[in-house]
Every structure is written in structure tokens, then in C-alpha cells.
Amino acid sequence: MQEVFGIAISLGTVNKLRFEASDAVTTCVDEAKQYIHCSKVVGADETSFNQANLDGCNPQQRKAWLWVAVTTPHASSRQSRPTQWLPLVTFFEIALTRCTQAAENLLGENFGGILNSDRHGAYNWVELERRQLCWAHLRREFIKISERSGVFAGLGIALIKQQEKLFELWHRVRDGTLARYEFIELVKDIKEQILTLLQRAADYEIGYRKKTPLSKTGRSSGFI
């Protein structure tokens, strides 16, 4: 504050102003959270940071987690360029835990939409049929697999090719040159190819204590 605005202000005053600002936006925050709970598609993630105890709410000096939930527009599957989009809402919440309870609080215990996330166990309460794994995470693992030798490399390269086909189609949907219902039909073959490759990965015999991204990625086949 001193460097930017030339205002001398104590840490205690900063904390007081933080509470005042929080109170001022409480209604808007509650509405945003409720919208998340009722959304058809939500992306969620969390990241850690060091949280002090200036407000007295963290006497044990535990690590804090910043949780985020983001909605996505849900277009009609019969439209290539939807005439109406739903609001995009990004909601942040700080918690002193990374457990299932925090995820349920973020999304709502009765969340019935599709969840896009990584494979963090806190999200496992969401039914398998409503899970979509983050493709950025999967692509990184496909690349790791392709950089290995023998059968590992072949599977990894094949997985990357299928992922690239998928996103070529998705870019057409995003650009308005491919209708969603057409996209859904075209993706079926890609899905089958990826499931077949992941099943081969899951069935591959791995030696004792041998570490490989294939084992973890193979177990994820049900999410895709």
C-alpha cells in the first residue's frame, strides 16, 4: 500500500478491510456457489499455499488450499453455433484441507453435473459416468509413455495420435464448423481406440516395484 498508493497501513488494518470486503460480497459469492452446485458441467482444481494465522482461523498453521470451480457454456447438441450461452462463473474457496469434504463443499453434496478434474481422490465420490479427466494431464502421461522403449513407446505414440484427432475435431466445434451432434458421432471411434489402448496398458504385466506411467493411466480408462 505504501509503495503503490503512498498509504501507511498496518497489517491489522489490512485484515480488518479484508473482512469488510468479504462481508460486502457475501451475497454475490453465495449466488455464485449455488450456480456451481446446479451447473451441468464444472471444472475443478486445487492448489496449496502457505496460510498464516492473522485472522485467528488457523492456529495450527496448517497448509491451506485454494479450490476453484469453473462452469462451461452448455450448447445444444443440434447446433454448430449456439444462439444462447449460459453464464460463465469462476468460484474460488479457501480451505485448510484437500479432502473429500472440501470437494463436496465446493461442488455441493448433491452435484449432478459432469465434473472435469484430475485424478485427485477427493473427487472420487462423483459417479464414474459423470467424470471427465483433464486432457492436459492425460496428454503429459501419453508423452511420458511414448518416450519409453519397446511396447511402451508404441502405445504412447498411438495414444497421442488419438488425442490429436480428438482435439482437431473439438477445434472445429469451437470454431463453428462442426455441429456437436456430429462431433459426438465422430468421437465414438476415437473413444474405442483409446479404450483399447488403455486396456492393453492395464493388462500389461509390470515387474515388482517397476514404476511406469502405463499402470496409472491404464487404470483411468473408465474415466474417458
pLDDT tens-digit map of 128-138: 999 999 999 99
Beta sheet of 114-117, edge-to-edge order = 90-95, 63-71, 41-50, 114-117, 131-133
Q: Which residue has the higher pLDDT, 219 or 53?
A: 53
pLDDT tens-digit map of 66-124: 999 999 876 544 454 555 567 889 999 999 889 999 999 999 999 999 999 999 999 99
Largest CA distance in the chain: 65
- d(C-alpha 158, C-alpha 162), whole Å: 6
- d(C-alpha 54, C-alpha 221), whole Å: 45
pLDDT tens-digit map of 191-201: 999 999 989 88
What are residue 131's DSSP bridge partners?
A: 115
Task: Decide if pLDDT at 208 tops 80.
Answer: no
pLDDT tens-digit map of 162-176: 999 999 999 999 899
- d(C-alpha 64, C-alpha 52), whole Å: 9
Give the pLDDT of residue 221: 44
Is residue 178 helix, strand or coil?
Answer: coil
Would you say 139 and 160 are in contact if contact means Cβ atoms under 8 Å apart? yes
Distance of CA 95 to the CA centre of its chain: 17
Give the pLDDT of residue 223: 44
Give the three cell numbers for residue 176.
Answer: 463453428
- d(C-alpha 139, C-alpha 143), whole Å: 6
pTM: 0.75
What are residue 71's DSSP bridge partners?
A: 42
Measuring CA to CA, which residue among 114, 109, 146, 150 is closest to residue 131? 114
Q: Which residue has the higher pLDDT, 109 or 224?
A: 109
pLDDT tens-digit map of 4-38: 888 888 888 888 898 899 999 999 999 999 999 99
